[in-house]
Structures are given as structure tokens and as C-alpha cells.
Structure 1
């Protein structure tokens, strides 16, 4: 089996890629919660916390600083924005929380993998050094979110 080489991410984009790692961990934690039959309300509370502390600021930064590097009607950016809207709706859906959390776990995971493997590579390829420098300045002192108080996945 052929091993994929790790993606060499530009230093300016590494903080956002690190946030993607936390998003993948979020999906893993939900999967663990479902596997352990954790009460849906506990997982929903975690999702609300994660949205506030991680997803909302991350999406805002991507949409404000990264996506404009590509052309306005770039199909990759359009796909990412569409997925951002869908993921936001799933985080806020209270009609069927269990179904929404299942969908969220899958869709956030797939979205992050798309951004890391496709969109970020494209941005990295076309961004000027000045654009990358600006992104690096903005994200140089990202604060780590506090630990969540209910580690139901352990």
C-alpha cells in the first residue's frame, strides 16, 4: 500500500490547519459519544461550546482572510462557503439533535479533509508572499480554547 506524503503546509497556514486538527478531534469525540451511548444533551452542549470557541471564529477567519486570495467566483471557495453554511445549520439545529450531530460528525470531517487536501493547497499555490505574511501576522497569537468541562468521550 502506497503511503501518502504529508502535505507541506506554509507556516502562515499552519495555525488554521491546527484548528482543522481540533475539528477532526471534535468529530472523533462525537463518534466516541455515540459509541458509548452518551446522552444526546451532553453532546449537544459540547457542540454548542465547540461552535462558539472554535468553529465560528475559524470560519470567520477563513472567509475574511483566506478565501479572498482566490478569485471571487472560484468553485472551491463556493463549495467551502456552501459547506460552511450547511455546517452552521447543523450546529444550530434543535429539531432532531441526534440526527444533526450524526450528520455534523460526518460533514465536518469531510469538509476539513476537503479544505486541507484541496482548498488550502490551491490557496498556498497562488497566494503572494505578502498575502501569506498578512495571514501569519493575524494568526500568530491565536489563543488556545479552554478545555471543555465534560470529557464524555473518555
Structure 2
């Protein structure tokens, strides 16, 4: 694979969201490593998912992925990943016995998903889409996207 493309401005806010998603992964792993009460981690995930991750998924699914054809393999893969991550969130709140393993799985799968979007999907979109489509996408993102701001008191991941 050649040199990565410079990120189109339409995708920059989504990449910034991905940075915070990777921080979520780090926080989960930090909490697990410190052997903290998993309820603290789960409460944070619940907050982060409802305030940031699900709105990000919806923005992508409703407004970004639609620029790719329904049968585009990258689109199908990323939509499948979103569904899988949502299922893991549901499992986290049902499962009581193997919660540490599920937390680690969720963290690993979320990290892999973000890397997929950053390294493959966004590159694919920048190559496949015309500049006017990317500019239209940029207008939508500028209008709808909200920057991630943390409003959480229990910083269990801190030393």
C-alpha cells in the first residue's frame, strides 16, 4: 500500500471522534489493569456510548456511508462492524459473570473498527468519491457533527 492520503476536511471531524474512541479503549484497558470495580467502567461506557459513540455511528450511517453504493464491500463491512459493536454493548449489560472478558473484547473490537475506518474506509472514500461529493459530505458534517466534550466525574483511569 502506498503513502496514505491526506485526510479530506469532510472526514477530519470523524477522525477526531475516532481519537476519543481510542481513548475509550485505553480507559477500559486501564480500568481492567487496575482491577477496578467493573461497574465504574460500565457506567462510563454507558455514558460514552449514549452521548458520543451511538450519535457518531448514526451520523456515519445516515449521512456518510450513503455516499457509497449499497453494495460497496467497505460499506457493508463497516455497517456489519457497527451492528457487532452494538450487540457487544447489549451483552455487557446482560452478562454478569464474564464481564472482564467482554470488556476486553469490546475494547479490542472497537479499536479494530476505528483502525479499519481510518486506514481503509476513509482512504477508500477519498479515492472513490468525487470532490463535489466530498464537499457535499463536508457541508453535512459541518452542520450536524458535534465535537466530543467529556462530562464525566469518575476518572477511574487516572492514577
TM-score (norm 2): 0.87
Matches within 5 A, 1:30-69: 30-69=28-67
Are 1:87 and 1:108, in contact at CA under 8 Å, matched by a contact in 2?
yes
1:7-57 Cα offsets, whole Å, 9 max, x none, are: 510011000010011111100111110111111000000110110111101
* Whole-angstrom CA distance in 2 between matches of 1:21 and 1:51: 15
Unpaired stretches in structure 1, ≥5 consecutive residues = none
Q: Does the 8 A contact of 1:53 with 1:145 survive in 2?
A: no
Could you tell me which of 116, 119, 124 is aligned with 1:117? 119
What residue ranges of structure 2 are gaps of 5+ in the alignment? none
Task: Write the distance in 2 (CA, Å) between the matches of 1:149 and 1:89.
Answer: 27
Counterpart in the other structure of 1:153: 157
Write out per-residue CA displacement over residues 74-101 of structure 1, whole angstroms, 9 at most, x where no aligned residue. 1111111111011011112221433321
**Separation in 2, partners of 1:29, 1:133:** 34
Per mean C-alpha deviation after superposition, the further-off stretch among 94-103 and 48-57 is: 94-103
Provide, for residues 78-130 of structure 1, a one-character-per-residue CA deviation record: whole Å limited to 9, x for no partner: 11111101101111222143332111100000010011000111111122223
Please say if residues 66 and 123 of structure 1, whose CA atoms lie closer than 8 Å, have aligned partners that are also in contact: no
4+ residue runs of structure 1 moved beyond 6 angstroms?
none
TM-score, length-normalised on structure 1?
0.90
Look up the match of 2:21: 23
Q: Distance in 2 between matches of 1:148 and 1:6?
A: 35
Tell me how many residue pairs correspond in the alignment. Answer: 151
In structure 2, the residue matched to 1:138 is: 140
Structure 1 position 5, deviation (Å): 6.0
